[in-house]
Amino acid sequence: MPDKPDLTALLGSRICHDLISPIGAIGNGVELLMMDGMAQSPELALIVDSVANANARIRFFRIAFGAAGAADQRIGRAEVAGILGDLTRGGRLTIDWNSPAELSRREVKLAFLAIQCLESAMPQGGALSIDRGEARWTLRGESPRMRLQPDLWDLLSNPASSLDIGPAQVQFALLRDEITRQHRRLTVELAEAAVRLSF
């Protein structure tokens, strides 16, 4: 019997697919205005930055929330680094990504969901390091002001854990489901100024 389709991921893919074209069109329109001699202004700079940020978020969400595709579908480290660089440009969060040149898209989906979980614990920014070793991923988030909710993190590593979550925490439930779907085991280590995840 075939596996039941992941409707949440298919919905994520559909939304991202439908949004990427109009956001790209807005970006192209702004570029044409600038080439046509429209003067640089704070207002135009705000539009340019907003379009770039929206584009980066859609590309990130497409991997994190979208369908991962076939088990052998690959994504390059350069593409991942470009997405993360665009996503964090001008922000308070830095991401150091270390991985092989080619990666399974399914694994990157897990890493992106984990990044969102870590980011939620770092409202004032901080540093993330992501390393793909021989067989495991290790992600570490460090910030002088971590906002940790132990019950939320317990949701990831304890199959018996049950917690009502809202939209701001949906990545925790999605990461737990995807870890199970990929037959992996996730460990969580919490400290006062850091969180470490490995799977």
Last residue of a domain, one of 48, 67, 86: 67
Measure Cα distances from 73 to 36, 79, 177, 193 in Å.
Answer: 41, 14, 20, 36
Question: Do 84 and 50 belong to one domain?
Answer: no
140 within 8 A of 129, measured Cβ to Cβ: yes
- Domain presence at residue 72: no
Question: Do 6 and 57 belong to one domain?
Answer: yes
Question: Do 114 and 181 belong to one domain?
Answer: yes
Any residues with CB less than 8 A from the CB of 198 and at least 6 apart, and which?
Answer: 136, 137, 138, 139, 186, 187
- Domain presence at residue 82: yes
SS3 197: strand
Question: Do 138 and 171 belong to one domain?
Answer: yes
- At residue 2, the pLDDT reads 54
pLDDT digits (tens, 9 = 90+) for 134-187: 889 999 999 998 998 888 999 888 777 778 888 999 999 999 999 998 999 999
Last residue of a domain, one of 49, 67, 85: 67
- Domain presence at residue 129: yes
- Alpha carbons within 13 angstroms on the beta-carbon side of residue 7 total 1
- What single DSSP character describes residue 92? S
pLDDT digits (tens, 9 = 90+) for 58-91: 999 999 999 877 767 899 999 999 999 989 988 8
Q: What is the mean pLDDT of the chain?
A: 88
Q: Check which CATH number belongs to the domain holding 154 and give it.
A: 3.30.565.10
- CA distance linking residue 32 with residue 178, whole number of Å: 41
59 within 8 A of 15, measured Cβ to Cβ: no
134 is in which domain, residue-wise?
A: 77-199
- Domain presence at residue 16: yes
Question: Do 196 and 173 belong to one domain?
Answer: yes
- CA distance linking residue 185 with residue 133, whole number of Å: 15
- CA distance linking residue 113 with residue 49, whole number of Å: 24
pLDDT digits (tens, 9 = 90+) for 93-147: 999 999 999 999 999 999 999 999 999 999 999 999 999 998 899 999 999 989 9
Any residues with CB less than 8 A from the CB of 199 and at least 6 apart, and which?
Answer: 110, 114, 136, 137, 179, 184, 185, 186, 187
Question: Do 170 and 118 belong to one domain?
Answer: yes
Per the structure block, which two tokens stand in for 143? 């910030």
Last residue of a domain, one of 36, 67, 98: 67
Tally the domains of the chain. 2
Question: Do 101 and 186 belong to one domain?
Answer: yes
